Amino acid sequence: MARVKRGTKRRARRKKYLKRTKGFFLTKSKLYQSAQEAANRADRYAKRDRRVKKREYRKLWIQRLGAAARNNGLTYGQLIHGLKVAGVTLDRKVLADIAVKDAAAFTSLVATAKAAAPPPAKAKRA
């Protein structure tokens, strides 16, 4: 079996990592092993945070819908339940956008939700 020294292949792989970590702090952008570790860690965080970003946006939409629903006399849960019963298939992203940009349209959606599933009457305490 012939011996393989990998001259250009090794250099190309190392240059690829160093190019990816350009702009990283200190040795993470200069030394191959540190750069490789930093790049792999950055990839892991990037994958994780793509999922986290989806979570954060959903939370934001729900907060906006809750605030807009309370301004119209409903809770968030009552609004979502009423829209589901009424057969409105808009998702939270679109509903939050409507709530922010077109208050009149959102008020009509709230009226639809109220008509489909009226909010429960509050029980009086003795």
- Tens digit of pLDDT for each residue in 58-92? 999 999 999 999 999 999 999 999 999 999 999 99
So what's the pLDDT on residue 47?
95
Question: Are the C-beta atoms of residues 112 and 83 closer than 8 Å to each other?
Answer: yes
- Could you name the CATH architecture of 56-116? Orthogonal Bundle (1.10)
Q: What is the pLDDT of residue 122?
A: 76
C-alpha–C-alpha distance, residues 97 and 10, integer Å: 51
Q: What is the amino acid identity at position 70?
A: R
Domain boundaries, the chain: 12-52, 56-116
Question: pTM score, two decimals?
Answer: 0.75
- Residues of the chain whose pLDDT is less than 50? none
- What residues contact 106, with CB distance under 8 A and at least 6 apart? 68, 72, 95, 98, 99
Structure confidence at residue 126 (pLDDT): 65
How many Å apart are CA 63 and CA 6, to the nearest integer?
A: 56
